[in-house]
Amino acid sequence: MQFVRQSLCVRSYSSYTKIRDISEVLIGSTVEIKGWIKAQRFMKERSFIDVNDGSTKQNLQVVIEKEHKKPGHASSVYAKGILTQTPKGQLEVIADDFQVINKCDIDNFPFLARKTYPPDYIREHLHLRPRVSSFASMLRVRHHAAASFHNYFNRNGYIQIHTPILTSNDCEGAGEIFTVKPNNEALLKQMAKENVPIDEAFFDRKVFLSVSGQLHLESMCHGLGDVSENQKSPIHLAEFYMIEAEKCFVDSIEGLASDIEDMMKTVTRDVLNQCEMDVVNASPDRKRGDYSWLDKPFPTITYAEAIDVLNRNVDKLKSPVRFEEGINKEQELFLVSHVEAPIFVVDWPKSLKPFYMKQNQHNPQNVDALDFLTPSVGELVGGGVRESDYDRLSENIMDEIKWYLELRGFGGVPTAGFGLGFERYLQLLLSIHNIKDVIPFPRWAHNCQT
89 versus 115: smaller Cβ distance to its own copies: 115
5 versus 287: smaller Cβ distance to its own copies: 5
CB of 124 to its own copies, least distance (A): 11
For every residue of 188-229, which 3-state class applies, written as one string? HHHHCCCCCCHHHCCCCCCEEECCCCHHHHHHHHHHHCCEEE
25 versus 43: smaller Cβ distance to its own copies: 25
CB of 450 to its own copies, least distance (A): 5
Taking the C-alpha atoms of residue 145 and residue 266, their distance in angstroms, rounded to an integer, is 11
Assign residue 42 a region (left: φ > 0; alpha: ψ between -120 and 50; beta: otherwise). beta
Task: Work out the angle between the directed axes of helices 133-155 and 253-282 (0-180°, nearest 10).
Answer: 150
Read off the amino acid at residue 437: D
291 versus 441: smaller Cβ distance to its own copies: 441
CB of 115 to its own copies, least distance (A): 16
85 versus 450: smaller Cβ distance to its own copies: 450
26 versus 180: smaller Cβ distance to its own copies: 180
379 versus 400: smaller Cβ distance to its own copies: 400
H or E element that contains 98: strand 91-102
CB of 159 to its own copies, least distance (A): 5
> CB–CB of 207/168 below 8 Å?
yes
Kindly report the length of the chain.
450
CB of 411 to its own copies, least distance (A): 4
CB of 288 to its own copies, least distance (A): 22
Closest-CA residue to 390 (of 370, 411, 375): 411
Q: How many CB atoms lie within 10 A of CB 371?
A: 25
87 versus 108: smaller Cβ distance to its own copies: 108
Taking the C-alpha atoms of residue 61 and residue 46, their distance in angstroms, rounded to an integer, is 12
CB of 281 to its own copies, least distance (A): 14
Taking the C-alpha atoms of residue 243 and residue 421, their distance in angstroms, rounded to an integer, is 7
CB of 205 to its own copies, least distance (A): 7
13 versus 43: smaller Cβ distance to its own copies: 13
How far from 256 is each of 262, 294, 444, CA to CA, in Å? Answer: 10, 18, 33
Assign residue 360 a region (left: φ > 0; alpha: ψ between -120 and 50; beta: otherwise). beta
Q: Fill in the DSSP letter of residue 415.
A: E
CB of 280 to its own copies, least distance (A): 18
Taking the C-alpha atoms of residue 115 and residue 132, their distance in angstroms, rounded to an integer, is 10
